Structure 1
């Protein structure tokens, strides 16, 4: 193989990791893990189940993040030893193994670096994602269900916890809407770049003439609020309806009125929850999502006012963000970043990392302009 300056490459990846850990503040992260471990060891922790779940979830997330950094540091040390052995023994097999390992480390560092680009107020939070079918009839409803599968598969590969909170099924096929929670560090910062309108072009399996059809689906991403975040909601502004949960085709899956729909009348925001076992649980879940949506709306209004005062009329996020073309060729293209992939099936199976990382880098560049 061609001669490689391994000492220089090792020094480069070590310096990259140092810059990343400086931004992540690994010492503070380790201190957080230690504090959460003490809380988790408290025998009285489960007296408050909601707080216990929060502590254990945060501990798991923070431990995984710290382990990721520590593992990369160890891999760099090991690669340095391998490089020294290869140089001393002129062993081609070890040289190749060292080169491959350094390439793998660089890729892992690029992925870790993405976290340093997420500095928004709520980027570290868990996320609540809602997918709604748009124009396109049954094809749009089917596309909305395809997106739900895409995101849950993507999260599953990452071993991120996904909890479906509500699903409204369409009459013929697919879904009218679905809301799910993603519990992982930086889930909101990561998934927030997916918010917007997605477009599907394909030969419709529902058209008996085999014509090409276009369907649209909207993706909304909001941060899941913690106890320290709050927004006051006047109970008098709420309209609360209860109904029976239902599955595909309208079949009853619950014999009691446990599903809850909350309408915030001043804004018209509607939140429905039906996947918990009791009305009380569904109401609590719906209120959490409503609070998050109202807080996000407040932030958007404040940002719009600041832009107006500053005279900034430059467009930022467009409504349609991505096209998924299945016919007459296969291609998925992000209209903001220009990132594209020729294998649409692979993307719809959950291979989203390239699009998400490109989106986060694009967003970071825009905020620096």
Structure 2
């Protein structure tokens, strides 16, 4: 009869989970849900659409957060029953099933633990991600599209709602740029470690010489702000261009000039939106993103000034953060953390939690040092 005693592993899981519950403040989450449910039940809620969306979104986020905690709690309780059954059955299959559940719970609880490290001002917000192709011609635009798919697949794996706000297709392969919103609790805090320059090295599928090609793409991540009232933008500082939404290869997918491009003249920041049906909706969405970018730029300038006054102007984050090798060794390596994945195909299919978690832990250590 097999002897199976994972009591030490289970106790470690319960200890970590108890710490997570304390940090998350489950009672506080329940109180928030009760308050938001009361607000959501008010008869005149949808008289103010913006406020209604804020309330329902916050309620959904808090309910999801509580559901994740409760699901892990149930699995921990069920795990002990599973271990008892495995010992009663005394066969390898039952023990293997219990061991697999322990491994899965270690991963799930590890992911929850990483979330407790997200305590930045905007970390709990949803995220707006922009990807831009860099140097490398068709390889770069193709790489930008590969990165876009990677993040969208990651969101799909986690069942996070996604809205593609704007896509600029390249004349050849891939995209010049794309902006999309991931609406999930802590999406910004999680994905903010992905911001920076990504590098791809591979044998180019677009050349005839079978030579290695290096290409680059930039990833920008900003928090989604329902209202960015701290930044006022004079009308004279904005140039507004309207155009027709387009699809791959420049193909028009809209018969009216509903897409909007805002250019902030003092900074040169450009925001385009074409997802919504009307020009007014696209302009409002573009203005919200522009205000957020200007607010973050303002805060970055203030932080840089403080560092300069303190005699330390060295940036804490390098520009190039990760390399993807699709020839020879087949490897994805994060240049900040040293974390490596030997299966680039799985990474491009959205399996990036290991890379993200390593980045969050690395950033936390850098802040504490």
Task: Note the C-alpha offset of 1:274.
Answer: 1.3
Matched residues in 1 for 2:167 and 2:95: separation?
53
Task: Note the C-alpha offset of 1:245.
Answer: 1.7
Partner of 1:4: 5
CA gap 1:54/1:331 in 2 versus in 1, 3 angstroms: same
Describe the superposition over 1:25-63 as per-residue Cα deviations: whole angstroms up to 9, x where unpaired. Answer: 111111111112222223322223333233222222211
CA RMSD of aligned residues (A): 1.9
Partner of 1:170: 170
Describe the superposition over 1:236-293 as per-residue Cα deviations: whole angstroms up to 9, x where unpaired. Answer: 2111111222222222211211111111111111111112111001001101110111
Partner of 2:196: 196
Describe the superposition over 1:2-33 as per-residue Cα deviations: whole angstroms up to 9, x where unpaired. Answer: 65351x44333222111111111111111111
Task: Note the C-alpha offset of 1:84.
Answer: 5.6
Matched residues in 2 for 1:236 and 1:213: separation?
44
Partner of 1:232: 232
Matched residues in 2 for 1:73 and 1:126: separation?
26
Matched residues in 2 for 1:84 and 1:69: separation?
24
Give the 3-state SS of the residue equivalent to 2:166 in structure 1.
Answer: strand
Partner of 2:114: 114
CA gap 1:171/1:41 in 2 versus in 1, 3 angstroms: same
Aligned pair count?
367
Contact 2:226 2:288 in 1 (8 A): no
Matched residues in 2 for 1:256 and 1:181: separation?
24
Matched residues in 2 for 1:92 and 1:345: separation?
36
Partner of 2:328: 328
Contact 2:123 2:186 in 1 (8 A): yes
Note the 1:116-131 alignment, pairs <5 A: 116-131=116-131
Matched residues in 2 for 1:79 and 1:208: separation?
56
Partner of 2:243: 243
CA gap 1:5/1:141 in 2 versus in 1, 3 angstroms: closer
Matched residues in 2 for 1:357 and 1:169: separation?
31
Give the 3-state SS of the residue equivalent to 1:53 in structure 2.
Answer: helix
Matched residues in 2 for 1:218 and 1:186: separation?
21
Matched residues in 1 for 2:154 and 2:301: separation?
32
**Superposition TM-score, scaled by structure 2 size:** 0.94
**Superposition TM-score, scaled by structure 1 size:** 0.94
Does 1:263 find its partner at 2:234? no
Task: Note the C-alpha offset of 1:361.
Answer: 0.7
Structure 1: which 5+ runs fail to align?
none
Structure 2: which 5+ runs fail to align?
none
Contact 2:165 2:180 in 1 (8 A): yes
Matched residues in 2 for 1:203 and 1:313: separation?
38
Contact 2:227 2:288 in 1 (8 A): no
Note the 1:316-355 alignment, pairs <5 A: 316-355=316-355
CA gap 1:90/1:170 in 2 versus in 1, 3 angstroms: closer
